[in-house]
Chain A
């Protein structure tokens, strides 16, 4: 039994050695440094699409920030509630018997004459079932 095991072991060793010999000529690999450098380049290239997306996101963020800043500036230039003409104050009105319009700001700037300025409506002269269209 031991002899058989020994034979099997030897046979396996011989098999391994023969197989290695037959493969030896093939395993002359390209230099490691070249392969890893090429892999690094390929890895860098594969990251670029994400870099493009990140760049677009940065540009979008900058545009949004500029838009917000412009809106804030417009808001800042708008009249504050204090600077605007005062509206009716209920307390003041109740304490007094006189009242005058607080400001002309609330008055319409243009009074229009409804008889003069309304557009003339076109009327149809074609009757349809007894009525004008």
Chain B
């Protein structure tokens, strides 16, 4: 029997389930848009359009969160690459003092975040997905579109690099 709360073209997804992960999806969209809030809202909205239309059909092969994160990741890769370039150009050429164009990054004073920012983007993604979005390494690899082995390798390298960077930052402050 069909759930009344289910999406019309995506019967395995319910609105309540989507609402439960909404905040995390937005966080992931923000990260994909270089912390540009407007672009992230647009990206998330487009991801929901894909779910509503059934273009991205959930077949319960993974968790809903992994699936929606993958949709956001794929959209960000394809459609928003151009938008990101355009936004970067706007920022570079903006002459006004209006800071609405500026991305609102996570706590810039956080040492951990500074260390994460120094990582190559794949390593940064896997760290964010595992530590902040609470996915397993397998799920993170699935979202990133790499094999589990590759995901694990990125994860191990990222951890080593983070340990090293954080240690050197701590030594500097002593």
Contacts and interface: CB of A to CB of B under 8 A. Distances in A.
A97 interface: no
Interface string A18-31: 11111101111110
A77 B128 CA distance: 80
Contacts of A42: 45-46, 49
Contacts of B159: 12
A96 B100 CA distance: 108
Contacts of A18: 110-112
Given A27-B23, A35-B22, A19 B41 contact: no
A19 B128 contact: yes
A43 B19 CA distance: 18
A20 B47 CA distance: 23
Contacts, number: 81
B27 A19 contact: no
B39 to A, nearest CB: 13
Interface in A13-54: 15-16, 18-23, 25-30, 32, 35-36, 38-40, 42-43, 46
Contacts of B111: 18
Contacts of B53: 43, 46
B76 interface: no
Interface residues of A, number: 25
Main secondary structure of the interface of B (DSSP, over half): helix
B104 to A, nearest CB: 7
Interface string B23-57: 11111001000010000010011101101110000
Contacts of B19: 32
B106 A25 contact: yes
B163 A38 contact: no
A26 B132 CA distance: 12
Given A46-B49, A46-B53, A25 B107 contact: yes
Given A26-B105, A29-B23, A35-B41, 18 more contacts: A15-B162, A16-B131, A19-B113, A20-B132, A22-B106, A23-B106, A25-B107, A26-B30, A27-B26, A28-B23, A29-B44, A30-B41, A35-B45, A36-B52, A39-B46, A39-B49, A39-B52, A42-B49
Interface of B: 15, 18-19, 22-27, 30, 35, 41, 44-46, 48-49, 51-53, 104-107, 110-113, 116, 127-128, 131-132, 159, 162-163
Interface of A: 11-12, 15-16, 18-23, 25-30, 32, 35-36, 38-40, 42-43, 46
